[in-house]
Amino acid sequence: MKFVDEASIQVIAGDGGNGCVSFRREKYIPFGGPDGGDGGDGGSVFLVGNEHINTLVDFRYQRTYKAQRGESGQGRNRTGKGGEDLYIPVPVGTLAYDTESGDLIGDVVSPGQQLLVARGGFHGIGNARYKSSTNRAPRQFKPGTPGERRELQLELRLLADVGLLGMPNAGKSSLIRKVSAARPKVADYPFTTLQPNLGVVRLESMRSFVIADIPGVIEGAAEGAGLGITFLKHLSRTRLLLHLVDIAPPEGSGEPEEHIRIIASELRRYSTDLATRPRWLVFNKVDLLPADEAQARCKHIVDSMGWDGPYFRISAVSGEGTESLMQAIMVFLEENLPIDSEDETQSEHEES
């Protein structure tokens, strides 16, 4: 299935039913009074989190969603039936923006969560409600109010604890395949990852976390080069970034230090918040070098760059070092609380 992480739709809540003007007409009751009933409320429109949906692709084919209107009131003090609410299933992690104002309406972050995006109209009032000692035959009534109509911009941001980033062919897809049941495409050419992939890393009972793999980021990504910039927003919810570095890049493709600086620079240009997120260096493909040489090269890189954060040596293919890396991640996540939901949406791409 094609991965779609943005969509525009129109939602229309139901109008409220009109109030009724009616008078009691029965044999042997010459002074029958007003008996017009109220209308019913219009149905509202809700977005509902559904864990079985992974993309917004269905909204490319159906763009208008309309809830049922309320029925009008009737004589004999009969109230109109309320319109049924409309529930639209969306992937967990969907944000809804008002297209006209640009305001964030809400964020669907859990399965079953309901987000009101268009409120139904209020019911009209029948003439029976206007009866008084001085107005015994009222002909007043109130129509129902219109339901809300909105143009929505839906945006999907994956819910993951850990995000993988790095240059193309750094081994991100190989790592997520090794440590989880996810099966992204792996090949020896750039941009084999064309859409985000999620994998669940299970260490033991009740200890697991979600890891996200996005397309490789290249220099100039902040201006739209490559594919990674399209999906960097999916890292905005993560608590930890794993920066994968090819310790033995192909000749002519640049040195590891250069690759690290490029990624760090693109993160800063995309989002200050994302650039200051905890980030670990993960030197991959150590199986291509003798152990002593791999260790010395990693030490030289971190020393030359003045890197004072955690770093690891792994082979995503053989699995060397991956278990200790996953254990360290689990400890980090257990010791650090999730990002506050209000802070999650503050990180936006600063357009030049």
Q: Could you give the domains of the chain?
A: 6-156 (2.70.210.12), 162-344 (3.40.50.300)
pLDDT in tens, 271-313: 888 889 999 999 999 999 999 999 999 999 999 999 999 999 9
pLDDT band at residue 133, thresholds of 50, 70 and 90? confident
Q: What is the DSSP string of 263-330?
A: HHHHHHHH-HHHHTS-EEEEEE-GGGS-HHHHHHHHHHHHHHHT--S-EEE--TTT-TTHHHHHHHHH
pLDDT band at residue 217, thresholds of 50, 70 and 90? low
Q: Rounded to an integer, what distance in angstroms lies between the CA atom of residue 301 and that of residue 313?
A: 12
Q: Rounded to an integer, what distance in angstroms lies between the CA atom of residue 257 and that of residue 239?
A: 24
For residue 182, count other CB atoms closer than 10 A to its CB. Answer: 18
- pTM given for the model: 0.71
User: Judging by beta carbons within 10 Å of its beta carbon (0-12, 13-18, 19+), is residue 112 exposed, middle or buried?
Assistant: exposed
CA angle 335, 336, 339 (to 5 degrees): 160
- Bigger pLDDT: 159 or 107? 107
β pairing state of 240-246 and 279-284: parallel
Q: Rounded to an integer, what distance in angstroms lies between the CA atom of residue 34 and that of residue 19?
A: 12
Residues 253-285 as b/e (b if ≥16 CB within 10 A, e otherwise) read eeebeebbebbebbbebbbeebbebebbbbbbb
- Bigger pLDDT: 98 or 199? 98
Check residue 233 and report its DSSP letter. Answer: G
At residue 219, the pLDDT reads 47
Check residue 125 and report its DSSP letter. Answer: B
